[in-house]
Each structure stands twice: as C-alpha cells, then as structure tokens.
A and B are shown apart, each in its own frame.
Chain A
Amino acid sequence: GAGVSQSPRYKVAKRGQDVALRCDPISGHVSLFWYQQALGQGPEFLTYFQNEAQLDKSGLPSDRFFAERPEGSVSTLKIQRTQQEDSAVYLCASSLGASGRDDEQFFGPGTRLTVL
C-alpha cells in the first residue's frame, strides 16, 4: 500500500528563488498537515487542510509561505523569495481525520530544502 509521498526529496535554491514542494497523501485521508523541521529540532506545525479547505495556517512563518490543496488530495507548499532561514526539512502528514486522540498521522519522507 502506498504511504505519503513527497517530492522532490532534496531541493537546493538560491536566495530569492521561489520553490514548490509537493505532497501526495494516503488515498482517502481527509486531513493533511505540513510541518517544518529545522536541523536538530522537532517538527513545527505550519498549516492544516481538511479536504480542500485550509482550516489553520497559524504556523506559516511569513506571507512568503503559501499552501494549497485544490482538489482535496495532493497539496503544494510554495515558498516565495526564499531566504536562508527557510532551510529545513518540510514534512507532510495525512490522517483519516476522525476526531479522537488516536487519529494517527502518517508522515512522508520529507523534502530537505537548502537555500544558498
């Protein structure tokens, strides 16, 4: 069975470039999360989708960050005018979306972004 996939796995960008990171969640999963993991740190929440609706974007660090999930499946995280502090691993996770503490989030392998 297919898990969560992300592409590209690695991305090197020059400062000021725009980047787009893709997440393919598990089929049928309603909830989709993006997290940012800086080197040596735990993941931090960026944004949450329920189907195609972006219900929480409180973790996006600036207006250079934008996420979408137009058809309620694949999601794209876009970063405009990248800065060196954007260098991190970007993790995508999906879940069935049931309420309850044990609604398990399944993580993708992440995209490692390096901004030079």
Chain B
Amino acid sequence: AQKITQTQPGMFVQEKEAVTLDCTYDTSDQSYGLFWYKQPSSGEMIFLIYQGSYDEQNATEGRYSLNFQKARKSANLVISASQLGDSAMYFCAMRGDQAGTALIFGKGTTLSVSS
C-alpha cells in the first residue's frame, strides 16, 4: 500500500527566507508520481509541482523546487523567498501510473509566514 508521511504539523518562517517542508513516502510501485498542493484557508487545492519517479532532475516551478531523494524515499518541498501569501496548508501526495489512480495525501503541514 502507498503511504505519505509529513512529520511537521506546523512550520514558521519569516518573509524572504527559504523553508523546507518534509515528505517521505512508501510504495512498492516502480513508477509513480509525487505532487505538492497548497490549500489556503479558502479551501481550494492548488497544484504546485510534480516529480516523476524516473525523472533524474529535481523539479522546479518558480519559487518552488522539489528535493527528490529516491533511495531515501523523500520528496521535500523547498520554497525560496517566502511571501506572506504563502501562508497555507501544504500537502504532499503520490499516485501510480495507471489512468484513474487516486492521489494518496499526507496529513499536511501548516506554513505561517511572518513579516
């Protein structure tokens, strides 16, 4: 069975600093995808970044980068130059390759950015 573990219930960072949100996963699949989503207090799930299990380079999307360490089964999200608008809940998720495979989510990390 697939499982996502996020061990940081809450993280605090000051504006303009970088922050790393931890995520480890467990799966017996050889091919899978890893995702990070942001959920502000308004409730919508906003896709941030994707990393495929066979991708050799770490994914980057603007201020977001994914530190993928396959042997350690970790997929940490790094947010550079934090902004006040980054304050939200962040979820790590994974899914297999088959069409129609549901996402498996972790419990999330609440990020608070202060000025």
Residues of chain A touching chain B, judged by Cβ–Cβ distance below 8 Å, are 31, 33, 35, 40-45, 48, 50, 55-56, 59, 89, 91, 93, 97-110, 112
CA distance A101 to B51 in the complex (A): 9
Interface positions of B from 54 to 96, Cβ below 8 Å from A: 91, 93, 95-96
Asked if B50 contacts A91 (CB within 8 A), the reply is no
Asked if A101 contacts B102 (CB within 8 A), the reply is no
Check B42 for interface membership: any CB of A closer than 8 A: yes
CA distance A98 to B91 in the complex (A): 23
State the total of A-B contacts with C-beta under 8 angstroms: 73
A106 to chain B, nearest CB (A): 8
Given contacts A102-B52, A109-B43, contact A42 B106 (CB under 8 A): yes
Asked if A97 contacts B97 (CB within 8 A), the reply is no
Residue of B32, B102, B106, B108 contacting most chain A CB atoms (<10 Å): B102
A-B contact pairs, 20 of them (CB 8 A): A31-B99, A35-B103, A42-B93, A42-B106, A43-B45, A43-B105, A56-B100, A91-B45, A101-B32, A101-B33, A101-B50, A101-B52, A101-B53, A101-B95, A101-B96, A102-B33, A104-B50, A107-B37, A109-B42, A112-B43
CA distance A77 to B34 in the complex (A): 27
CA distance A98 to B31 in the complex (A): 15
